[in-house]
Homo-oligomer: A and B are copies of this chain.
């Protein structure tokens, strides 16, 4: 077998009959537009449409999937040019950082990063040899030169990538100036925001008190009292909706929810904005606020996304040097059944409520999430997430979820990425794996091929639009 960078049949089943079915299913969805309803690209890119600078700053520096793997094998973050927050020196030459990356490219064998990067190299930049130490600088120059051309500006890539809609994620206090600029340019239907209020809900943050004051200033509400705080959140949700948002996002450590009385909430709020709150108060407040957010979603129709179960910034030393999102967030065991009960007891049967659940704990797929989503009309399951956004992870998701929740209680694919160029690659992997899963069902005579085609189209496009109310 001659090694080639990107084989047309990659990820398909090896059995010939099944592979043929997978190919046919894939043909029906490969060119459908991309809906990217949850991610972390920078709205500035689309608002200002400036050229990207160079290969390193585009593909390595912002991608914690990439540099965590190199760090695990003894490469320092400094050598990759990752900025230090403590002012320490780092590599300033992007070519040298690229060379270090290329020297260690073999580490990514069989990882999703390798699949995504190879697809970017091949499909976006037309490269055909595998990246290695020897061709590293040629790669760098080739990519960097292309980035300077008009065809590689963000909006041109949006068209080339066939991205119909992309959602960014902004904190509750974000001025949304980039989205305002997008509105003026007429791109506001294509790039929308998402309301992420963790900064004004998680009272354990060191900037929480400041954030609450700022929330009051932004909205004119008295955020020193519970009622004013809730009204301020309602206002911000409304402003986000005016900038296209159809969804909120919540990155809590656990899925815990609470269902306190108004009086209890008032007392708890007073405590968490004061100096004496304990970790248990912070936890209870986060829990209650998920229920409050669900209540506001019943009012205003915003889709609620819950992303729990991560121990953030586990490496204390690295966090103090480089800050957050540096590849050492580690998943933990997560409970949904008891945790969501208070919220669901209050709002679980509301027809206007839609909550999309994600998990980093795959043991919950078959045990908790599929049974919950297979019953509650307000619950849907987000795709295999983060560490599990891999071919194997996607198979495990479908294999463990479908039997109980079916396909229609899932919401299509999320790329969840800040790596803009990898978005088509990520959606392509998801489409291939869904077609593979469906082809297996057809080959085992559990589904007709016409049903499988319909479902493939749903998983690729329609379910995302419906789940995120993008129609």
A-side interface residues toward B, CB under 8 Å?
1, 3-4, 7, 9-15, 17-18, 21, 68-69, 71-74, 106-112, 115, 130, 311, 314-318, 327-333, 335, 337-338, 341, 344-345, 348-349, 351, 360-363, 366-368, 370-377, 379, 387-388, 390-393, 399-400, 402-409, 440-451, 455
Contact = CB atoms under 8 A, between A and B. Distances in A.
Nearest to A365: B362
Given A14-B17, A409-B72, A337 B311 contact: yes
Contact of A375 (B109, B328, B372, B443): B328
Contacts of A371: 329-331, 387
Given A317-B348, A387-B404, 10 more contacts: A10-B444, A15-B15, A72-B373, A73-B377, A110-B441, A315-B348, A317-B345, A332-B338, A363-B367, A370-B387
B400 A368 contact: no
Nearest to A9: B445
A303 B405 CA distance: 34
B11 A444 contact: yes
9 contacts: A14-B443, A74-B377, A130-B448, A311-B341, A315-B344, A315-B376, A331-B337, A391-B403, A392-B403
A346 B190 CA distance: 47
A393 B337 CA distance: 20
Contacts of A390: 403-404
A368 B332 contact: yes
A314 B108 contact: no
A263 B310 CA distance: 33
10 A-B pairs with least C-beta separation:
A3-B448, A7-B445, A390-B403, A10-B445, A14-B443, A316-B345, A14-B15, A328-B375, A68-B375, A331-B367
A71 B318 contact: no
A374 B69 contact: yes
A286 to B, nearest CB: 18
B72 A349 contact: no
